[in-house]
Amino acid sequence: MPAMDNDWGLVADIASSVRSGRVSAISLVNKSFELIEKNKSYQTIIAVLKKEAVMRAKMIDRAVAKNEDPGLLAGVPFIAKDNFLVAGADTTAASNMLVGFNPPYQSSVINRLEAAGAICVAKANLDAFAHGASTENSDFFVSKNPYDQNRVPGGSSGGSAAAVALQLAPFALGSDTGGSIRQPASFCGLFGLKPTYGLVSRSGVVAMGSSLDCIGPLCSNVTDAALILDVISGKDELDSTTIDKDRSGYSKGLKPAPLKGMKIGLIKEYMGEGIQTEVKQAVVSTVDKLKKSGAIVSEISLPSLPLALACYYIICPAEVSSNLSRYDGVRYGFSADEATNLEESYLLSRGRGFGMEAKRRIMIGTYVLSSGYYDAYYRKAQTVRTKIINDFNRAFADVDLLIGPVAPTTAFKIGSKNQDPLAMYLSDVMTVAASLAGIPAASLPIDKDNDGLPIGLQLMTSQRQDKRLLSAALSIESMTGYSL
C-alpha cells in the first residue's frame, strides 16, 4: 500500500500558494501526471488530459505573473469520473457504447471549476454508465482498492475514489445515484458528499436515473468538500431541477457544529443482521464518543427503509431504460456499420455497445414501465418512495442528523460478487434511501477493520441542509481524527 499521508494539503492552501506565486500551477499538474504514471497498476484512470491541463496551468501562471486573480481554486488539479463531459478527451462512461465520443460541450460543473482556476488532469474509471458498486462493470478494466489490490475500490465512482486515496490529485468528482459517491468514499477512506438533489447541476453528466443523480466531490477531508461545493453548487439554466445554494456559502464561516446538545438519530434498520461486525462496532464506538461529547444520540426507526432497495431497483432501471434509449447507433457513439436497415442497426448497435448490466437494467426498466405492469411495479415503487420521504421528514422533526453505516461491509474481494447481481445490489442497501429522498448524505471515515480496510460513517440531514451536514461532519472528523 502506498503512503496515505495527505501531502497535497488543503485545497484552499494549494490555491493560495499558487495565487501568491510560491508554487506554479504547472508544477502541480506535473506532480499529478507523475503520480498517475507511478500508480498505473491500480487502474484508476481512463484518460489523461495532458495537453489541456498544461495549457490551463500556463494560463493560470501567466495570470499570477500579471497580478490577475486566477480564482478560488487556482491551479488545483482534479480528476473527473468519466461520465462528465470534459473538452479534450472522449467521454466514455466506461462503456463500449461511447468509445470515441468526443463531447461537443462541457459539463456545467467542469465549467464552474475551470472558471475558479481548477484544472482537470484526468478522467477516472467507473462501472459502465455508473451501474454498479465495484467498478467491475467497467467495459475496460477493474480499478483496485489502494488499501488492498485484491479488493474493489467500491463503485460506481471507484476510479475517482481510489485516485484521491492514492493522492493522484487533491480531489475528484463523482456522481451518486444510489450511493456511488458514498460507498467508494467509505471503501477508500475518504470524505464523499452527495449534496441535496438539484444543488449541483447535472448538465453535461451522462444521465443514469434523472430523479436520483447527484454530483459531488470525493476529498481527503470535509473542509475541501465545502470549498468545492461552493464552486459547483447553485442554479444552472441548463438544468431545470437545480436549486439556489445556501446564501452564506458552504466554506465561509464553516465551523464544527457543537456536539453538546446535538440531536442525532442512529438508524435502527441499518444496524441489524447482515452487517460486518467491525463495521457495526465502529459505528457503535463513534456513537459512544458522540455521547461523551455531549450529543444526544437515540436509536430511531424508519419503518419503510427495508423497502428502499426494492423501490430503488424499480425506479432506477425505469429511468435508466429511458435515458439509455438515446444510444441508438445513429446519434451517439457505437454504430454497427454492417447493419442494412434501421431496425438491424438498433439491434446490432445496442446489442454490442451495451454491457450485461446496462442490458439487465434496460430490460427491468422497460418491464416495470410496460402497460400491464406499470401499476404493479412502477406506481407502487413511487408510493413507497413517498413513504420513505415521509419517514425521513418525521425523523428530522426530532433529530438534526441521522447516522449509520454506509455499506454492510468494507471493500470486498474482486470477483466475489460480480457473478451475482443481487449480491452486488445488496451492497447498496444503506445508501439508496437518501437518494430516493433527495436528501444530503455523506460518508466520513471513522475507523479501519482488522484487515486495515477503511470504514465510513454515513451522515444525513434534511433537504437543503447541506451546510449543517458539513459542520456536523467537521465536528465528527475532528473527534475521530480519521481524515487523510
Q: Which CB atom, from 46 or from 130, has the smaller least distance to ligand GLN?
A: 130
User: Which of 180, 201, 345, 427 is the catalytic position?
Assistant: 180
Tell me the Cα Rg of the chain. 21
Smallest gap, in angstroms, from Cβ of residue 153 to ligand GLN? Answer: 13
Q: Other C-beta atoms within 10 Å of 263: how many?
A: 14
Q: Other C-beta atoms within 10 Å of 141: how many?
A: 14
Smallest gap, in angstroms, from Cβ of residue 91 to ligand GLN? Answer: 16
Compute φ and ψ for 36, nearest 5 degrees: -60, -45
DSSP string, 100-116: T---SS--HHHHHHHHT
DSSP-derived letter for residue 348 is H
User: Which of 24, 156, 251, 427 is the catalytic position?
Assistant: 156
Smallest gap, in angstroms, from Cβ of residue 191 to ligand GLN? Answer: 17
Q: Quick one: which H or E segment has residue 225?
A: helix 222-232
Q: Which CB atom, from 57 or from 80, has the smaller least distance to ligand GLN?
A: 80
DSSP-derived letter for residue 378 is I
Contacts 24+ apart (CB under 8 A), 31-37: 31/77, 32/77, 32/121, 32/122, 32/168, 32/169, 33/121, 35/166, 35/167, 35/168, 36/121, 36/122, 36/163, 36/168
Contact between 85 and 8 under an 8 Å Cβ cutoff? The reply is no
**One-letter amino acid identity for 112?**
R
Q: Which CB atom, from 316 or from 368, has the smaller least distance to ligand GLN?
A: 316
Smallest gap, in angstroms, from Cβ of residue 142 to ligand GLN? Answer: 15
Chain positions contacting ligand GLN, by CB under 6 A: 130-133, 156, 176-180, 208, 316, 428
Nearest position to ligand GLN, beta carbon: 180
Q: Which CB atom, from 213 or from 246, has the smaller least distance to ligand GLN?
A: 213
Q: Which CB atom, from 36 or from 430, has the smaller least distance to ligand GLN?
A: 430
User: Which of 81, 144, 417, 467 is the catalytic position?
Assistant: 81
Smallest gap, in angstroms, from Cβ of residue 366 to ligand GLN? Answer: 17
Smallest gap, in angstroms, from Cβ of residue 133 to ligand GLN? Answer: 4
156 belongs to the catalytic site: yes
252 belongs to the catalytic site: no
Cα pseudo-dihedral 381, 384, 386, 387, rounded to 10: 180
20 belongs to the catalytic site: no
Q: Which CB atom, from 135 or from 483, has the smaller least distance to ligand GLN?
A: 135
Measured distance CA(435)–CA(152) in Å, rounded: 22
Quick one: cell of 317?
432501471
The residues assigned a catalytic role are 81, 156, 180
